């Protein structure tokens, strides 16, 4: 949306406008944003077809898909909603191509520095240096012990994951997004608008956010390699709940609601 406002791309642009050899045609940026692209799962492609002894970066995987991938689309673009990590890795790759810099440096210049998010960064396994106090993910073992989760061939790809931040920084991000420091109110409205299939059916997902009308909330949960995260904005209460966890905790929705209830029952909001 930042690049759109700079008039460097349009939501109707297709992937092949930026990567002409990309094997999947007629998929727009908007379809990538709201998960109606039908792209296959790049996790499977990297794990089964990538033969190098190092994990691919975004652009290396884009080139590999153009030359080698045998995976088919899950469905024709625009036909239905299906959450796609591949779509968000492709979006980050488009940002790198258009901005002529790495995704990490773009985030730093366009978001982290303006919002003073001093403890946020993108990390690519075997491509970037590990930062001071950088956490690792764990999984439960035999019900009570925790074991570290090793990195995989998919851990040098960014866009769908691998952004490190503190809860304080994420609050700065949500407030910066809402206040107009990053994008216009019109662009934010687009992000908070439910998606539509090519047949006109709506679904509760905008651009990077899930939308739940009956609870008046806009939110997103995520998980990867032991990390579980949740950012939720309750519109009516103007309450933001952020949960960051790194021990494979799975009851994020329950914990989120408990926190909301504690605030509502004990604070004048």
pLDDT by 10s per residue, the chain, length 269:
999 999 999 999 999 999 999 999 999 999 999 999 999 999 999 999 999 999 999 999 999 998 876 789 999 999 999 999 999 999 999 999 999 999 999 999 999 999 999 999 999 999 999 999 999 999 988 888 999 999 999 999 999 999 999 999 999 999 999 999 999 999 999 999 999 999 999 999 999 999 998 889 999 999 999 999 999 999 988 899 999 999 988 899 999 999 999 999 998 76
CATH of the domain at 111: 3.40.710.10
Give the chain's domain count: 1
Output phi, psi for 173, to 5 deg. -65, -50
Give the span between the Cα atoms of 86 and 27, in whole angstroms: 12
Nearest Cα residue to 121 out of 187, 61, 169, 186: 169
Provide the domain limits for residue 74.
2-266
Give the span between the Cα atoms of 223 and 207, in whole angstroms: 18
Can you name the residues that pair with 28 across neighbouring β-strands?
A: 14
Place of tokens 């440096």: 105
Would you call 211 helix, strand, or coil by DSSP? strand
pTM: 0.94
Nearest Cα residue to 225 out of 122, 158, 151: 151
Q: Is 17 exposed, middle or buried (0-12, 13-18, 19+ CB in 10 A)?
A: middle
Give the span between the Cα atoms of 93 and 110, in whole angstroms: 16
Contact criterion met (CB below 8 Å) for 58 and 158? yes
Q: What is the DSSP letter of 15?
A: G
């Amino acid at each position: 949306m930042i690049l759109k406002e700079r008039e460097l791309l349009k939501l109707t642009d297709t992937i092949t406008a930026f990567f002409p050899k990309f094997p999947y045609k007629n998929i727009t940026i908007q379809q990538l944003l709201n998960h109606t692209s039908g792209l296959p799962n790049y996790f499977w492609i990297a794990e089964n077809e990538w033969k190098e002894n190092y994990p691919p970066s975004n652009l290396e995987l884009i080139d590999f898909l153009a030359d080698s991938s045998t995976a088919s689309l899950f469905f024709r673009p625009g036909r239905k909603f299906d959450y796609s990590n591949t779509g968000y890795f492709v979006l980050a790759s488009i940002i790198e191509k258009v901005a002529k810099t790495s995704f990490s440096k773009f985030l730093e210049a366009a978001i982290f520095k303006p919002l003073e998010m001093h403890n946020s960064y993108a990390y690519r396994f075997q491509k970037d240096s590990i930062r001071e106090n950088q956490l690792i993910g764990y999984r439960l073992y035999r019900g009570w012990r925790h074991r570290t989760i090793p990195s995989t061939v998919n851990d040098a790809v960014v866009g769908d994951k691998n952004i490190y931040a503190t809860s304080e920084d994420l609050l700065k991000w949500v407030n910066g997004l809402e206040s107009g420091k990053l994008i216009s109110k019109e662009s934010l409205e687009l992000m908070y608008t439910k998606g539509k299939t090519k047949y006109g059916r709506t679904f509760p997902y905008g651009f990077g956010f899930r939308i739940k009308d009956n609870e008046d909330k806009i939110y997103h949960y995520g998980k990867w390699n032991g990390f579980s995260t949740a950012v939720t904005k309750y519109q009516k209460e103007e309450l933001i709940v952020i949960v960051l966890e790194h021990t494979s905790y799975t009851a994020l929705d329950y914990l989120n609601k408990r926190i909301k209830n504690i605030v509502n029952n004990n604070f004048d909001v």
